[in-house]
Structure 1
Amino acid sequence: MSEQEKNLRWYNLAMMAFVSVWGFGNVVNNFANQGLTVVVSWVLIIGLYFVPYALMVGELGSVFKDSKGGVSSWIRGTFGTTLAYFAGWTYWVVHIPYLAQKPQAALIALGWTVKQDGNFIKGMDPLMAQLLTLAVFLFFLWVASRGVTSLKMIGTIAGTSVFVMSLLYVVLMLAAPSIRGIESATVDFSIKNMMPNFNFSYFTTLSMLVFAVGGAEKISPYVNDMKKPSKDFPKGMITLAIMVAVSALLGSIAMAMMFDANNIPSDLKMNGQYYAFQMLGEYYGVGKLFIVIYALANFLAQISALVFSIDAPLKVLLADGDRKFIPKALTKTNKYGAPINGYIMTAILVGILIIVPALGIGDMNSLFDWLLQLNSVVMPMRYLWVFLAFIGLKKAADRYKSDYKFVKNDKFAMGIGIWCFAFTAFACIMGMFPSGVETFSGDWWFQVSLNVITPFVLIGLGFILPMIAKKTNGNSGDTVKSKDIA
């Protein structure tokens, strides 16, 4: 790329990253978990975790500027092909709980769009609701298998609308007391009331915070499109951190003004975003306008994300996989170019994860909260590979050159990488213990069991594919050609 083409500025990067990393659900879910103490938690997580994480991603993207496989390519460059396969497998398999919840979220959004209340699936028998969820998933799996791409554009528009309305909510809610005379639901905003109690219960909520600020690796390729990577990239990431911090802090305060932080509704994670816009419409005298617009936009965004997440992570796994790890049968495509056997594997895993929990979790609100918590445990596991790649990069620092370095001292940089790895692992482990559920009750033990078993099973399945590949692929060790599964 010529110097003339390197025209991405720090503020462009910050805005691109902000849109891809942040969402209103991050504010709602963490406020539901922690109440007003989440304000201090946001400050800590952004300063001690998110900023170094984003800056590490920039250095990895700069070093491996020609790689197309993202995290798996970084691991291949630092630790070899075997761990690179497991990095690619992890990136794909952690989307299974995500895919199991997206149809749920879409049905909830549809219910609010049509009826403007949260009872569409909330009051259903869990098994019936999950069978409906499975039907929705299988339908959109079929849509994805036919190469339908128009939903991506619709989803981009809808997602942008959701994002803009989320920012609008914060502004209008903060202004509501002075403009509309609304009284704050939470009375005490003192520093004492915002300080977390660093106990076992608090640590079980960390994974949701990590889940909220993760995903910065998506922007790593853009570091090489910048005019001055060494100066502009960190400036862009610091700006991103400030934007996330402001949005998180003001959003949490706005939520506390609308909902009593000491008496949080039990279904706030499931319906909190919709309650927020429903009440905002009442405050400003526009009736159901806000809730209908938000619910419709969110429904379309959820459907688009479902289709995209069925297809894209699977293609990343297969396109960048080594044939000694990926069975040739998985790369088989239909006439639309979709890896059909990979889709079948996805359908089986997601189907199990949709149905089995419904057999032991008594109501849909608890089931929704559990699946969201499971996502916060499983999704951050892919960030572990980012930090491992960075540690490997620092161990062999003399072999690599970069236009941008996170920290000049390689040993200090490695120490920060180890800290981020250890903190992520700790958050994932603690997230396995459900908060908001009576400790040691039957429901608590059932959820803990699923939270422990699911990650081990999903990652463990990654050991099976190489065994199948060894029997079915012959002696070929060639990388799967991306054109085969494009």
Structure 2
Amino acid sequence: MSDNTERNLTWKNLALMAFVMVWGFGNVVNNFANQGLKVIVSWVLIISLYFIPYALMVGELGSTFKDGKGGVSTWIKASMGPLLAYLAGWTYWVVHVPYLAQKPQSILIALGWVFTQNGNFIKGLNPLLLQSIILVLFIFFLWVASKGVNSLKRIGTVAGTATFVMSILYIIMVITAPKITGMKIATTHITAKTFIPDFNFAYFTTISMLVFAVGGCEKISPYVNNTKNPSKNFPKGMIVLAIMVAVSALLGSVAMGMMFDANNIPKDLKMNGQYYAFKMLGQYYGLGNLFLILYAVANMLAQISALAFSIDAPLKVLFADSDRRYIPESLTKVNKHGTPINGYKMTAVLVGILIMLPAFGMGDINTIFNWLLDLNSVVMPLRYLWVFAAYMAVRGFAKHKFSSEYKFVKNDKVGVGIGLWCFVFTAFACIMGMFPKSNIPVYSSQWYFQLTLNFVTPVVLIGLGLILPIIARRNNKNITASITEEIGQ
């Protein structure tokens, strides 16, 4: 196949593909719930100062390591060595543990909205009983994923696309609703102060959710070298992606402000906001609960697929390009479906603990849901740190080892400086995100409980990765000793 045939993606294709990968309606809802209409200025700042350089750095790394199969792990292995590559792979896997702990909650919530068309399906349940049900649900889907069932993933792709399309339609239909349906705007008292964030401690505890929303664009790096004239079209595609995300974030936030009073945000908006939005949209246009049911079904199927995929894929990333000196052989053992079954068991233990633990120290399901979502915004961006570390290495001390058709910036020192800025900002956002949000009474027992879990969870999850190389080293010694003994006999 000729090089021209392979390079068949235009900047338009690239921008659209990346937009579907990076963006989702939940990003709008969750950040509006945190900041109200002040989030509009926050979106402008985060996209211009963080997201654009992040996306362009990923483009350069993808072009530099176009044949790597392990993504970030490959970048780190080539530029910083196998031990750090293993830790990068471990981080990529382990940050999905809180994500997996929340997915069964999201499935149950969506199911409730499908059948009852309100948010009361699980509200009355005892938190311990509810989390036990969620644990059983997780174990069931863990078993399903271990069978190598790909149909769930295919269904999820269709459902995920449907929820994405409906999210864009939501923005268009709400923005036009006042003229078409006579809808009254919910946020009425609007001044300049409505949009300007208070850059105080409480504000900085919410920026991890913004970083979480725009992160993950390293998924598009394999497509750099399938792009026509990548040195020109890839950055163009990324800039268009940033514009699309900015427009979606800004108009989505405006739409939320039109539908919900930004000065009196519902306490359960993070948990149920997406469903409230589509329920109200159907009412505006005289269609009852049609939009709500369609969205809830599609979202439930997408969540099921995401759960199954996120159990399996991160483990494969961890094992794909990691040095066997750092991973015990027993963890890589696979069943007849090609599933690393002991890796699944390790996943079950860690996720099970995280599902059950908050039931003993948090009052209700809404608090637990919000906490897990906030914990995801603290833990998930930790994997982005490795992207920036790899970029600094490639443009810094290892710059003479690599070449790329596309460079984000020509000057190496400037490149390292931008990588350092993104690294420090991400770390700062994660640390600030550990502090409970303003809806939790400061210094209350629940505030201390959440703070402790927010701090301990990432430390323990990342720290466990340091134990595996020790176990692997001992296992390797035992195997070597056994072989030596057999040879001696």
| Pair in the same fold by TM > 0.5 | yes
1:276-355 correspondence runs (5 A): 276-355=277-356
Match of 1:413 among 393, 412, 415: 415
Which whole-Å CA distance do the structure 2 matches of 1:115 and 1:215 have between them? 34
Match for 1:426: what amino acid? Answer: F
* 1:154-194 deviations in Å (ceiling 9; x for gaps): 00000000000001110110111111111110014443310
Question: Could you tell which deviates more after superposition, 175-184 or 115-124?
Answer: 115-124
**Aligned-pair CA distance for 1:475:** 8.6
**Aligned-pair CA distance for 1:311:** 0.4
**Structure 2 contact 73–322 (Cα < 8 Å) conserved:** no
Matched, 1:24 2:15: no
Matched, 1:462 2:465: yes
**Structure 2 contact 128–356 (Cα < 8 Å) conserved:** yes
Match for 1:233: what amino acid? Answer: F
Which whole-Å CA distance do the structure 2 matches of 1:5 and 1:415 have between them? 34
Number of residues of Structure 1 aligned to a counterpart in Structure 2: 477
Match for 2:155: what amino acid? Answer: I
Indicate the SS of the match to 1:451.
helix
Match of 1:441 among 441, 444, 450: 444
Which whole-Å CA distance do the structure 2 matches of 1:13 and 1:216 have between them? 12
**Structure 1 contact 90–382 (Cα < 8 Å) conserved:** yes
**Structure 1 contact 323–473 (Cα < 8 Å) conserved:** no
Which whole-Å CA distance do the structure 1 matches of 2:108 and 2:231 have between them? 45
* 1:101-132 deviations in Å (ceiling 9; x for gaps): 00000000000011111112222111111001
1:63-102 correspondence runs (5 A): 63-102=64-103
1:467-486 correspondence runs (5 A): 467-474=470-477
Match for 1:99: what amino acid? Answer: L
Map of 1:385 onto structure 2: 386
**Structure 2 contact 69–320 (Cα < 8 Å) conserved:** no
**Aligned-pair CA distance for 1:476:** 8.7
Which consecutive residues of structure 1, in runs of 5 or more, have no partner in the other structure? 478-486
Which whole-Å CA distance do the structure 1 matches of 2:403 and 2:343 have between them? 37
Map of 1:367 onto structure 2: 368
Indicate the SS of the match to 1:473.
helix
Match for 1:372: what amino acid? Answer: L
Which whole-Å CA distance do the structure 1 matches of 2:66 and 2:366 have between them? 44
* 1:327-386 deviations in Å (ceiling 9; x for gaps): 000111111111100000000000000001110011110000000000000000000000
**Alignment RMSD, CA only?**
1.1
Which whole-Å CA distance do the structure 1 matches of 2:306 and 2:375 have between them? 18
Map of 1:423 onto structure 2: 425
Indicate the SS of the match to 2:256.
helix
Matched, 1:210 2:215: no
Which whole-Å CA distance do the structure 2 matches of 1:262 and 1:346 have between them? 41
Which whole-Å CA distance do the structure 2 matches of 1:370 and 1:5 have between them? 45
% identity of equivalent residues? 69
Map of 2:52 onto structure 1: 51
Which whole-Å CA distance do the structure 1 matches of 2:434 and 2:41 have between them? 23
Which whole-Å CA distance do the structure 2 matches of 1:5 and 1:414 have between them? 31
**Structure 1 contact 323–476 (Cα < 8 Å) conserved:** no
Map of 1:376 onto structure 2: 377
Which whole-Å CA distance do the structure 1 matches of 2:246 and 2:459 have between them? 33
Structure 1 residue runs of 4 or more that deviate by more than 4 Å after TM superposition: none
Which whole-Å CA distance do the structure 2 matches of 1:87 and 1:383 have between them? 10
Q: TM-score, normalised by structure 1?
A: 0.97
**Structure 2 contact 33–270 (Cα < 8 Å) conserved:** yes
**Structure 2 contact 335–341 (Cα < 8 Å) conserved:** yes
Indicate the SS of the match to 2:130.
helix
Which whole-Å CA distance do the structure 2 matches of 1:155 and 1:265 have between them? 29
Which whole-Å CA distance do the structure 2 matches of 1:191 and 1:154 have between them? 45
Map of 2:455 onto structure 1: 452
Which whole-Å CA distance do the structure 2 matches of 1:137 and 1:475 have between them? 35
Which whole-Å CA distance do the structure 2 matches of 1:4 and 1:21 have between them? 27
Map of 2:129 onto structure 1: 128
Indicate the SS of the match to 2:70.
coil
Map of 1:118 onto structure 2: 119
Which whole-Å CA distance do the structure 2 matches of 1:189 and 1:36 have between them? 9
Which whole-Å CA distance do the structure 2 matches of 1:476 and 1:186 have between them? 68
Which consecutive residues of structure 2, in runs of 5 or more, have no partner in the other structure? 481-489
**Structure 1 contact 56–390 (Cα < 8 Å) conserved:** yes
Q: TM-score, normalised by structure 2?
A: 0.96
Match for 2:30: what amino acid? Answer: N
User: Residues 217 and 476 of structure 1: is their aligned pair in 2 closer, same or farther, counting only changes over 3 Å?
Assistant: farther
Map of 1:397 onto structure 2: 399
Match for 1:424: what amino acid? Answer: T
Which whole-Å CA distance do the structure 1 matches of 2:234 and 2:299 have between them? 31
Which whole-Å CA distance do the structure 1 matches of 2:416 and 2:338 have between them? 42
Map of 1:237 onto structure 2: 238
**Structure 1 contact 324–476 (Cα < 8 Å) conserved:** no
Which whole-Å CA distance do the structure 2 matches of 1:338 and 1:189 have between them? 55
**Structure 2 contact 66–225 (Cα < 8 Å) conserved:** yes
Match for 1:444: what amino acid? Answer: W
Map of 1:483 onto structure 2: none
* 1:238-289 deviations in Å (ceiling 9; x for gaps): 0000000000000000000000000000000000000000001111100010
